Each structure stands twice: as structure tokens, then as C-alpha cells.
Amino acid sequence: MMIRRMTENDIDAVLELKAGEFQPAWNRDMLMSELKDNPFAQAYVLTKNDKIIGFLDFWITFETAQLANIAIETNRQRQGLGSLLMNEMLEICDKEMCEMISLEVHVNNQTAISFYEHYGFIKASLRKGYYEDGCDAHLMIKPLGGNYV
């Protein structure tokens, strides 16, 4: 297993990544923008034998991080691979002295909610109609300490 920075050459494989029913509808333009236009984006892929099996995208803006997406191929879930990506993000956020990480998660995605709670994220509020289909999202946060440690 290897975690490395995502490149433009990885976009097709990331788009093909089937990672469950709650996956946001990422498209080529969005991923390209993350790589080329977003100075805050941190995009990584998890590979096994040169095949992309996971994807992580988060933003660091000043002392705050925002998890945009974390996904593992469906047939490889519940094998600790999501933890590899989460730990990578936490390590980077620690080095960057982030004070908090936030994320939005579909209110019906109990698997993801449990995963985030395992890492110390707490439900902070509800974002009504957050998704394109009108479904709600939980805003979850994880205090880190950052510059206050």
C-alpha cells in the first residue's frame, strides 16, 4: 500500500472508484480544479500494486482543515484502509498546526458517521438541504489543538 499525492493522470481512476451509495458526484472538472486551481487542496490516492483503491481530498485554510472527500473502493472497505487515509490527513494537519477539522456527512450514512466518531469527530450542527437532492448533512468537527498546544 502506498499513499501519494494525486496527479492529473489519476483522475480517471478516481472517477471510476466505486465507493458506496453516498459518494458525492465528483466530475473531471471538479477534480482538475482541485489539482490545478485550489491552492488549499490536499489530494491523495491510496494505491495497491499501482491500482488506485482510495482517495482523500481536504483543504487547509489557515488554522482550519475541511475534509472534502475520503473514499475506499467498496469491496475493500472495513479493512482499515480508510484509517490509512484518515491518519495521513491527521498527520498533515498536525504538521500544519491546524486547530480543527470539519466535514459534512449525509445524515443517513451511519457507516461514515461511526467512522468519523471513532476519530473523535462530533456532530456540531445540521445543514438542511446540503446535498443536490435536498438531503441534509451533519456538520462534524474535530478539535486538534494547533497553535494552542
**Whole-number Å distance between alpha carbons of 36 and 33:** 5
Which residue of the set 99, 104, 119, 130 is catalytic? 104
Q: What is the pLDDT of residue 146?
A: 63
Name which of 71-80, 107-116, 127-136 the model is least confident about: 71-80
Q: For residues 137 and 128, what is the distance between their CA atoms, to the nearest angstrom?
A: 7
Region 51-65: mean pLDDT is 94
- The CATH number of domain 2-148, selected from 3.40.630.30, 3.40.190.80, 3.40.30.10, 1.10.8.60: 3.40.630.30
pLDDT digits (tens, 9 = 90+) for 6-20: 999 999 899 888 655
Q: Which helix (H) or strand (E) holds 80?
A: none
Domain residue ranges of the chain, discontinuous segments joined by +:
2-148
Model confidence pTM above 0.85: yes
How confident is the model at residue 124, as a pLDDT? 96
Q: Is 116 a catalytic residue?
A: yes
- The confidence score (pLDDT) of residue 6 equals 96
Active-site choice (34, 44, 73, 116): 116
